[in-house]
Structure 1
Amino acid sequence: MFIVYSPEGRNVIGRQESKIESPKRINAVSESEFEQTMMELDKDQSGHLASSQASDLPHSRLNYGLSQYQKQLDTLKERHVVVQVSEIMTRDILSLPPRASLGEAWSLMQTHDIHHIPILDNENLVGMCSVQALLRHVMVADDNSLSMQDALSVGDIANTEVITTLPNVDVRRVAYIMTECNIGSLPVMSNAGKLLGIVTRSDLIKRLAQVPPLEIYA
Structure 2
Amino acid sequence: MSLIVIDHGNRIETPVKSVFPTRGVESTAPSKGLHDSAGIEKKVHADGENFTHILNKESAKQPQEQSANTYSALNPEKKKPQATKLKAAQVMSHPVHTIAREVTFKTAWARMQELHVSHLMVTDAEDDPVGIISHIDIIEHGKDSPVSIANFYTQQLIAASPETDISVISSSFIEYEINAMPVFNESNQLLGIVCRSDLLRLLISGSHIESWA
Write the deviation string for residues 69-89 of structure 1: whole angstroms up to 9, x where unpaired.
x87xx966x415111111111
Write the deviation string for residues 19-67 of structure 1: whole angstroms up to 9, x where unpaired.
x4xx84358xxxxxxxxxxxxxxxxxxxxxxxxxxxxxxxxxxxxxxx9
Report the AA paired with residue 113 of structure 1. H
Q: Which residue does 2:157 correspond to in 1?
A: 162
CA distance in 2 between counterparts of 1:171 and 1:135 reads 29
CA distance in 1 between counterparts of 2:137 and 2:158 reads 16
CA distance in 2 between counterparts of 1:12 and 1:91 reads 26
Q: CA deviation at 1:120?
A: 1.5
Report the AA paired with residue 179 of structure 1. I
Task: Structure 1: give runs of 5+ residues left out of the alignment.
Answer: 28-66, 141-145
Kindly indicate whether residue 15 of structure 2 is the aligned counterpart of residue 7 of structure 1.
no
Q: Normalising by structure 1, what TM-score? A: 0.64
Q: Which residue does 1:119 correspond to in 2?
A: 122
Note if contact 2:20-2:176 (Cα within 8 Å) is conserved in structure 1.
no
Note if contact 2:167-2:212 (Cα within 8 Å) is conserved in structure 1.
no
Report the AA paired with residue 8 of structure 2. P
* Secondary structure, counterpart of 2:132 in structure 1: strand
Change (3 A) 1:197 1:96: same
Q: Percent of pairs identical after alignment? A: 22
Task: Structure 2: give runs of 5+ residues left out of the alignment.
Answer: 23-66, 72-77
Kindly indicate whether residue 137 of structure 2 is the aligned counterpart of residue 133 of structure 1.
yes
* Secondary structure, counterpart of 1:198 in structure 2: strand
Return the match for 1:98 from 73, 97, 101.
Answer: 101
CA distance in 2 between counterparts of 1:212 and 1:198 reads 19
CA distance in 1 between counterparts of 2:211 and 2:109 reads 36
Q: Which residue does 2:25 correspond to in 1?
A: none
Q: CA deviation at 1:106?
A: 0.3
Q: CA deviation at 1:163?
A: 1.1
CA distance in 1 between counterparts of 2:150 and 2:204 reads 35
CA distance in 1 between counterparts of 2:154 and 2:120 reads 11
Q: CA deviation at 1:130?
A: 0.9
Higher CA-based Rg: 2
Write the deviation string for residues 112-138 of structure 1: whole angstroms up to 9, x where unpaired.
221111112223221111111111211
* Secondary structure, counterpart of 1:110 in structure 2: helix
Q: CA deviation at 1:205?
A: 1.2
Q: Which residue does 1:177 correspond to in 2?
A: 172
Return the match for 2:191 from 181, 191, 196.
Answer: 196
Q: CA deviation at 1:93?
A: 1.5
CA distance in 2 between counterparts of 1:185 and 1:129 reads 10
Note if contact 1:119-1:125 (Cα within 8 Å) is conserved in structure 2.
yes
> What value does the CA root-mean-square deviation take over the aligned residues?
3.1
Change (3 A) 1:205 1:75: farther
Number of aligned residue pairs: 162
